[in-house]
Amino acid sequence: MPRYFFNVYSAEPSYDDSGEDLRDDEAAWGQATIFAGEVLRDVDGRFRPGQQWSLEVTDQTRKPIFYINVGSRKMR
């Protein structure tokens, strides 16, 4: 099974050193959306206008294959 890594970019970046064995890219995408949802749910009001949060999914060669980006801004 291929190994995928999930790196988080925010005020304090977090790099996945261990990765996760998943069946294919589609399974990695599913895991990424679950992980992103859990992280954003745990933010619990601390995500402020002007902040960014990103999740990068790489394959076993560390080549990026998916990127989820969440940004915010105040309109007035």
22 domain-assigned: yes
- Spatial separation of the C-alpha atoms in residues 6 and 67, rounded to whole Å: 10
pLDDT above 80 (res 3): yes
43 has a pLDDT exceeding 80: no
Task: For residue 27, tell me if it sits in a domain.
Answer: yes
The answer to whether residue 56 is domain-embedded is yes
Q: Give a yes or no: residue 29 inside a domain.
A: yes
Residues 6+ apart with CB under 8 A from 57: 4, 5, 6, 7, 28, 29, 32, 64, 65, 66, 67
Q: Which domain holds residue 48?
A: 3-71
pLDDT at 51 (0 to 100): 87
pLDDT at 44 over 80: no
Q: Are strands 52-58 and 3-9 parallel, antiparallel or unpaired?
A: antiparallel
pLDDT for res 11: 79
In this structure, which amino acid lies at residue 64?
Answer: P
Residue 76 lies in a domain: no
Question: Domain tally for the chain?
Answer: 1
